[in-house]
Structure 1
Amino acid sequence: MKKIHLAFSLMISSLLISCSQKTENSADQYVSKDSVISESDSAAVKAERKKVQEQEKAKLDKPYREDENAEEKIESLIKQAQAENKNIILQAGGNWCIWCLRFNDFVQKTPELKKLTADHYLYYHLNYSPKNKNEKVFNRYGNPGEKYGYPVFIVLDKNGKLIHTQDSAVLEDGNGYDLEKVKTFFTQWIPN
């Protein structure tokens, strides 16, 4: 009986670690939306989840720049977007966010998505971190991270007007992202 209980506990722990849905509680911690963790398991499960995520994060590119002036950068992107007739996608998040890094990696390693974004958008990784919360910029767009978590996508037209905010959770599939859902999102907001 102990072997069955141990096997069941290990199986549940594995499922919880690989759970795809997330809610951002702070820049250092993720909690699954759809998992129920018992009090006795929570510390071990959280520690294992954090260890696995840290190993994965170490391997991924870090596109967010904490020291960059986001207001100035967005203003320059608006000028460029007007000249090139492109929309702007702000991928809000930070290098602390495994889902933010996964999305960046997914787009960069999927030629179809990389081309789609390069052809129709100016793409910017809008930093949100304890060191630089870019509060003024986030306030301008209604603080979507508070509602959806991170990453969250803010789509601007070529004049800098907010035309859409996208929750990333609906684009997920397992521990990554669904190609067709992401492609639909990008295609939907191509400028006319």
Structure 2
Amino acid sequence: MVENRTVRVLFDEHAIAGRIATLAQEVATRDLRDLLVIAVLKGSFIFAADLVRALHRENLDPQVEFMHLSSYLRGTVSSGQVAILKDIDSPVAGRDVLILDDILESGRTLAFAKDLLAARGARRVMIGVMLEKPGKRAVQVDADFVGFTCPDLFVVGYGMDVAHSFRQLPFIGVVEGA
């Protein structure tokens, strides 16, 4: 029970930790040049922190930046418009960039970010997501690294929220009850 509501676990801490280690190994197999990891705020902050530490264990030393993009504003459905609320400070020209986000759903936010960073001269722009909902795509964009394929449910935990609640949960789940 959290905040008088039950959260049903979809992916527990152990499954998440194992998948993060595997994702770091997958990233480490790429021919990387001057890697810049960009965490898309707010939902990806826990995923990004765990993955960056796992990348360190794979002998990678990425620079880390944060970008705050939003297509949801205060709702639970994408508005269709992406806004840059906070941009990165580092140059991307000639670098490999790994964008990390919590969930790939409509694809609008990640397509926007990928196009923006490519236009700024990134050598390569890759996408890593904790969750992917393949049936929800509004624009064509694919993730290079996917933690889990997720059913079409509104999920919380592991950085993801509903009305700024449940981000702190160490697992990914679905809120049940009122």
Normalised-by-shorter TM-score class: under 0.3
TM norm structure 1: 0.24
Tell me the TM-score normalized by structure 2: 0.25
1 or 2, which has the higher strand percentage?
Answer: 2
| Structure ID, larger Rg | 1
